[in-house]
Structure 1
Amino acid sequence: MDEKSEFLGKDNIKKLLFKLSVPIVVGMLVQAIYNVVDTFFVGMAYGADDVQAIGGLSIAFPIQMIIMAFGIMLGTGGSSIISRALGARENKKAEKVLGNVFSLSLILSVLIAVLCLYYLDPLLKVFGATAGVMPYAREYLKYIILGGTVFVFGTAVQNIVRSEGNARLAMNAMVLGGGLNIFLDPVFMFGFGMGVEGAAIATVISQTISSIWLLLYYIRGKGAVRFRSKTLKPDMKIIKEIGAIGTGSFVMECANSVMMIFVYNALATYGGDVAIAVFGVVMKINSIIFMTLLGMAFGLQPIVGFNYGAKKYERITEAVKLSLTATTVTGLLGLVSIYFLKEQLLGLFSTDPEYMELGKNAIVIMLLGTPLIGMNVITSTLYQALGKAKPAFLLSISRQLLFLIPAVVLLPRLYQLNGVWAAFPVSDFMAFMLSGFLLFRGYRILKESKYSSKKGAGSETADKISPI
């Protein structure tokens, strides 16, 4: 069973990173593009009112991300345990983790749907929904919440598939979901005249089909980890381990949504509906770069986890160095490209003069720190894959909670709307500095683990080493 993952400990690191990262990056780019396409079609559907409609999707987006954060938590925690278990040849443990991820996906998504639907309007108001954008946000979000199970399950299982080293399947699942969404959007929005409701229904249908495909992969026994129905029974020990490792990613996603509460309220104060729409568009444009960086990090994760379990520490160090170089260069190229194409990109969604003027200023300021983000993403992934929950958690919350929220609160008081935009590169720089410090300590963990292994202390000694 674990023979399917043996290549993670044998193949050339550069080729391995390319093999694992490229399919994930392609899949995540499709995901990012369909989010952009959603907004593009909404702009087309509502014509003169498109700024408020786009604002409605912008307000709904962070709540949608909170729902998906539960899947990211289960997937990140589960994939870290599974990749290390495969490396250590603990196949039964890997099977138990897979079953628990399946059952927890269903339990959590039902609880989320009940709570979110009951408190939908108050929730939207907390996120800064104005009277103009509220109807659009409500119409879109109610369908996304009802389809929460497929978002949580699909997100979690994509991570598990990657932990086996099957990056191509994860890519195909994302391309299938994203491609269907792009096709179904105009069908429901224009063909059936359903507007933003149609965009939401198209998203849920496409993600349902993608999730069913992933489920069948495991039910038919094609994975490196075999699915057994008896493993669906929740195991508290496994749940705690998944939670300990995955909480950092969960908090990072939720922190992003919590951050948006402060951002949208600041935008409502200093800019109004147009500024909210601009922010939503810039974030979706930026997501194309960020998803690329995240895809590279996801390609790194199974290499680190498997080789840590197999005590091949030099391979981890090489993989991290190559990943850092690739993400930094990608961030820089993305920043330069967006700077020179900003008018064309903004013009895809609206031609409103106020929107264009605000957008050109916002996009330049907000994305200045893009080349620095790779350090945070890669270092966070390293600690998650090593099973070091505390530093992974700290890194996950650093950009949004520790640095961005205080900057969003303080800078607008000095620079008004420009202060909101400037908060982003400031937080990117601070997170870069923290990540660099913890990366250095991460290298110490690997050195000490290698030394302990050579002395015959084994993994037990290595696991006791903690960077914080």
Structure 2
Amino acid sequence: MKGDGERMASPAEHISLSNGNVPRLIIRLAIPSIIGLSINALQQFVNAIFVGTLSAQAIAAVSITLPIVLLLTSVGQGIGVGTASFVSRNLGAGNSLEASRGASSALALAAPIGVALTVVLLLSLRDVLALLGASRTIMPAALDYASTLLFGYTLILSNMVNGSIVRAEGNTRFSMWTMITAFALNALLDPILIFSLDLGVRGAALATLLSQIAATSLYVLYFVKQRGIVRVRPSYIALKGDRVKQISAIGAPATVTGMLSAVAFVLLYRAAAPFGDDSIAAVGIAARLLTIGTLPIMGLCIGSQAVLGFSWGARDFARARKAAKFMLSVAVAFSATFSAVVVIFARPIVRLLSDSEDVAEIAVSTCIMFHLFFGLFGVQYVVITMLQSFGRARLSAVVSFARQGYLFVPAILALPDIWGFNGVLISQAAAELVAGLLAVFVIIRQFGDLKDRLPSRPSSGEG
């Protein structure tokens, strides 16, 4: 048996972060992450299709729980981002033992957090849903869906951290196949539980829960069989000291951003509630499409973040600049294309998600407005990833909190009182536009700073 201080062997699936071909390295790391997170979005899309055939109240009930899901996943995102940064930086420094200790500590931290949040939300779920704007007609279905989903939250949280660890060590393919397996099981169980067993929206939540159990089993096997570089062991757990501080410092902005997303959706649904259940359902459809569009960009950045952090830590600024430029070009191309597709084909897309003509009429204009300036989202997420990788927490917070924080919140509180439901739509579009322009300004400055850090003679890695 190997001692704790011995170096750990790298399996074939591991991709070296020191690979000299930066675009190829990013593609190899990012594509599995993009596919995995896109599959996750597709899972939500498939759930919406099945639930949408039940009734407008059913899809409104599922949609109105989205802020709760965002709030809970933001915790996983924070722990995951902090853990991934810790793991990749230590692997880059050749310290796989410290990477393993950080990973083990993060997973140990995730479990009690998940249980505590589950208990708190279950005890106050009706009040929370009422705060979100659930009407008397929506409340029963919303309670069924949310309460069932909450029982699996600790598994979902652990799986987010597991996935971050696996991706940080270069095994993005395993994370991808785990998500694909979970999606396939979810899609198989949805019609059985929703219709055959007549469980309705509770069946959709139960299908998600069972798919997460399958994902957890795969990650457990991965670590038990020592398929990667990182080892997860009880003896490595230490929930105090500099290790946890590092994970928390990097992960906190990601968690706050996710919480702001949840608050933003709370305000969005509350603003839409006075205009009826059809308006809530329409906003839910548009918000779900936004999520689908953001996840591939997030996958690109999550898969590429290790390259940025590795290059910055090695003080290879030419490589960091080249990586960021490649990420930006891909992210902007995708976000602009997705924006155009939704705006042009809004009606047929909406018809997939709702059989109600009344909901569809509202949802078409809602989807168009929500995605009008989505092309700028690619710039926003790339610059946030750059700043997190470079350790610039304050500036990262300024950009992160703009889109659904200090720009969106004042708009959604004021504009609906002035322009009615159109004010709801304008709030989202205006926040997206201004946040995107802010990100453009910041990323230009960041590229300038990286250029200033380059040596006076041209670097062979710069292209």
TM-score bucket (shorter structure): over 0.9
In the TM superposition, 1:308-327 aligns within 5 A as 308-327=312-331
In the TM superposition, 1:51-450 aligns within 5 A as 51-269=56-274, 271-443=275-447, 446=450
Shift of residue 340, structure 1, vs aligned partner: 2.6
Equivalent residue, structure 2, for 1:466? none
Whole-angstrom distance in 2 between the partners of 1:447 and 1:104: 39
Residue by residue, what CA displacement relative to the aligned partner does 1:316-348 show, whole Å, maximum 9, x if unpaired?
Answer: 111111111111111111122122322111111
Structure-2 change in CA distance of 1:158 and 1:445 (3 Å)? farther
Q: Residues 3 and 224 of structure 1 are in contact (CA less than 8 Å); yes or no, is this contact kept in structure 2?
A: yes
Q: Residues 38 and 296 of structure 2 are in contact (CA less than 8 Å); yes or no, is this contact kept in structure 1?
A: yes
Q: Residues 67 and 151 of structure 1 are in contact (CA less than 8 Å); yes or no, is this contact kept in structure 2?
A: no
Structure-2 change in CA distance of 1:90 and 1:124 (3 Å)? same
What is the TM-score normalised by the length of structure 2?
A: 0.92
Equivalent residue, structure 2, for 1:456? none
Whole-angstrom distance in 2 between the partners of 1:447 and 1:285: 37
Equivalent residue, structure 1, for 2:28? 19
Q: Residues 80 and 387 of structure 1 are in contact (CA less than 8 Å); yes or no, is this contact kept in structure 2?
A: no
Shift of residue 6, structure 1, vs aligned partner: 6.7
Residue aligned with 2:17, SS: helix
Shift of residue 255, structure 1, vs aligned partner: 0.7
Shift of residue 232, structure 1, vs aligned partner: 2.2
Q: Residues 369 and 424 of structure 1 are in contact (CA less than 8 Å); yes or no, is this contact kept in structure 2?
A: no
Shift of residue 219, structure 1, vs aligned partner: 2.4
Q: Residues 162 and 170 of structure 1 are in contact (CA less than 8 Å); yes or no, is this contact kept in structure 2?
A: yes
Shift of residue 210, structure 1, vs aligned partner: 0.7
Residue by residue, what CA displacement relative to the aligned partner does 1:66-125 show, whole Å, maximum 9, x if unpaired?
Answer: 112111111001101111111122323211110111101101001111101111111111
More helix by share: 1
Identity of aligned residues (%): 28
Whole-angstrom distance in 1 between the partners of 2:216 and 2:385: 24
Structure-2 change in CA distance of 1:340 and 1:441 (3 Å)? closer
In the TM superposition, 1:453-464 aligns within 5 A as none
Q: Residues 245 and 388 of structure 1 are in contact (CA less than 8 Å); yes or no, is this contact kept in structure 2?
A: no
Whole-angstrom distance in 1 between the partners of 2:279 and 2:371: 16
What is the TM-score normalised by the length of structure 1?
A: 0.91
Shift of residue 57, structure 1, vs aligned partner: 0.3
Equivalent residue, structure 1, for 2:3? none
Equivalent residue, structure 2, for 1:42? 51
Deviates more, 1:106-115 or 1:166-175: 166-175
Whole-angstrom distance in 2 between the partners of 1:236 and 1:67: 25
Whole-angstrom distance in 2 between the partners of 1:342 and 1:6: 39
Q: Residues 248 and 394 of structure 1 are in contact (CA less than 8 Å); yes or no, is this contact kept in structure 2?
A: no
Q: Residues 339 and 375 of structure 2 are in contact (CA less than 8 Å); yes or no, is this contact kept in structure 1?
A: yes
Shift of residue 217, structure 1, vs aligned partner: 1.2
> How many residues align structurally?
447
Whole-angstrom distance in 1 between the partners of 2:271 and 2:49: 25
Q: Residues 66 and 265 of structure 2 are in contact (CA less than 8 Å); yes or no, is this contact kept in structure 1?
A: no
Residue by residue, what CA displacement relative to the aligned partner does 1:26-77 show, whole Å, maximum 9, x if unpaired?
Answer: 1111111110111111122x2xxx1111110011121022112111111001
Gaps of 5+ in 2: 1-7, 457-463
